């Protein structure tokens, strides 16, 4: 009788372990496309990602590079002071999007051009995403608000 109880406990424990491993695997599989890594323009130039990889790029919209094409297609360059990456985006830009302003874009790097699927702009005069601020500080370009 004791042997049967012990055997049943071992079976239940093994079944729980298998269920836990399966659940962890399914969660990891479901999240594989939901994680977007941030890269600065100088990092993209140094180590270009695969064309199938979706990631975020951030920096300042380079002065004099904003060109509006036919329809909703827009071309511009993003810089962090150490490098500049051309960006193409089809869609409506945020109202606060402008040259020399911070931005983050989601998309992929194909044939030397970042093809954005989403563009985010800063929401007030002092806000800048932490990743963009850190990348600009590394390049020595970032100035605290209020400094001239």
How far apart are alpha carbons 6 and 2 in whole angstroms? 6
Question: Does the pLDDT value for residue 33 go beyond 70?
Answer: no
Bridge partners (DSSP) listed for residue 37: 55
Say if residue 89 carries a ligand binding annotation.
Answer: no
To the question of whether residue 127 is assigned a binding role by annotation, the answer is: yes
Q: Which fold has domain 37-139?
A: OB fold (Dihydrolipoamide Acetyltransferase, E2P) (2.40.50)
- pLDDT value of residue 29: 84
Can you give the pLDDT at residue 89?
Answer: 92
Tokens encoding 49: 């990602």
DSSP 7-74: HHHHHHHHHHHHHHHHHHHHHHHHHTTT--EEE-HHHHHHSPPPTT--EEEEEEEPTT--EE-STTEE
pLDDT at residue 5 tops 90: no
Per-residue pLDDT tens for 89-111?
998 888 888 888 888 999 999 99
pLDDT of 39-91, one tens digit each?
888 888 888 888 888 888 988 888 888 888 777 889 999 988 888 999 999 98
pLDDT at 118: 92
pLDDT of 127 strictly over 60: no
pLDDT for the residue numbered 82: 83
Domain boundary assignment for the chain? 1-35, 37-139
The dihedrals phi and psi of 140, each to the nearest 5 degrees, come to: 80, 20
* 17-31, 47-61, 121-135, range with the lowest pLDDT: 121-135
């Amino acid at each position: 009788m004791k042997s049967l109880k012990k055997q049943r406990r071992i079976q239940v424990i093994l079944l729980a372990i298998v269920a836990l491993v399966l659940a962890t695997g399914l969660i990891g599989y479901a999240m594989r496309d939901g994680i977007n890594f941030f890269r600065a323009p100088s990092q993209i130039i140094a180590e270009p990602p695969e064309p199938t990889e979706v990631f975020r790029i951030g920096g300042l919209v380079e002065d004099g590079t904003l060109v509006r094409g036919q329809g909703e297609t827009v071309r511009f360059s993003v810089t962090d002071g150490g490098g500049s990456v051309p960006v193409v985006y089809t869609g409506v830009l945020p109202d606060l999007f402008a040259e020399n302003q911070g931005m983050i874009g989601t998309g992929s790097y194909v044939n030397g051009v970042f093809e954005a699927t989403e563009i985010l702009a800063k929401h007030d005069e002092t806000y800048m995403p932490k990743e963009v601020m850190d990348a600009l500080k590394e390049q020595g370009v970032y100035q605290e608000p209020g400094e001239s």
